Every structure is written in C-alpha cells, then in structure tokens.
Amino acid sequence: MTETARRAANLYGQGTPTQEAFERLANRWTMRLTHVLEAGPTRFNDLKKQLGVSSEMLSRVLRDLERDGLVARQVFAEVPVRVEYALTPLGGTMCRPVHAVREWAEQTADDIVAARAAYDRRSQAAEPSS
C-alpha cells in the first residue's frame, strides 16, 4: 500500500471522524435541511412540509445534526410549545459544499438524463429477443 493510500485509509476508514463527517454531509436530508435552514430558524412542521419528509426521519436527522453540533434546537415556552431549528456557526460551514453540490447537480442534470437514456437504449438493443 502506498503512503497516499495509507493516509486515505486512515482519514476515510470506517468509524473515523472524517468518514462520519463525510457521511453526515452526503446524507440527502442533511443537504436539503442545510439549504432550508440557511434562510434562518425554521419550525419542525415547516421543515417537514418543505422537505416532504416523514416526522420520524426528520426527527432522526435533526437529532443527529444537533448531536454533531451542526443544528441548534430552541424550545419556546408558549402554548402550544414552539420549537425552531437553526444552523449553528459550525453547521453554517456546510453551506458552501452544499451549494457546490447543488450547482453541480443543476449544471449536469440534462447531461445525466441524456446519458441514462443512451445507456437504456444500448441495454435494450443488447438484450436478446424472445
């Protein structure tokens, strides 16, 4: 194993902080939540509506992000109780990579659709007729 490969294995090996951070950022709900929360504190039900996610999944992702110090949860003693979620300063550092991924997705979406169609045509042509 080369020194570069050894270093990469140490950085991205299972259970390493780097791998865990990468997996957290790569989570589809983390990316979407970051985009929504970038606009400011948001209530749970508003997040749920904007993202089209189940309560259970949203709760899990928000809890994980809060545990990692990326999202802050604030409870307001009102009737009914109001809870808002916001990016922490550390969570705000995710915005730049999320923007870059979103920009890449927007720029390449048509090319990906075209590549899939071409692949599907090739695959269908290669299938033996029954």
Using the predicted structure, report yes or no on whether residue 91 has a pLDDT greater than 60: yes
Widest distance between CA atoms in the chain: 68
**Distance (Å) of CA 68 to CA 8, 15, 105:** 23, 14, 26
CA–CA gap between residue 84 and residue 18 (Å, rounded): 28
Return the pLDDT at 15.
Answer: 75
pLDDT for 8-62, tens place per residue? 556 666 778 888 888 888 888 999 999 999 999 999 999 999 999 999 999 999 9
pLDDT category at 127 given cuts 50, 70, 90 is confident
CB within 8 Å of 117: residues ≥ 6 apart:
none
pTM: 0.76
Return the pLDDT at 105.
Answer: 92
CA–CA gap between residue 49 and residue 63 (Å, rounded): 18
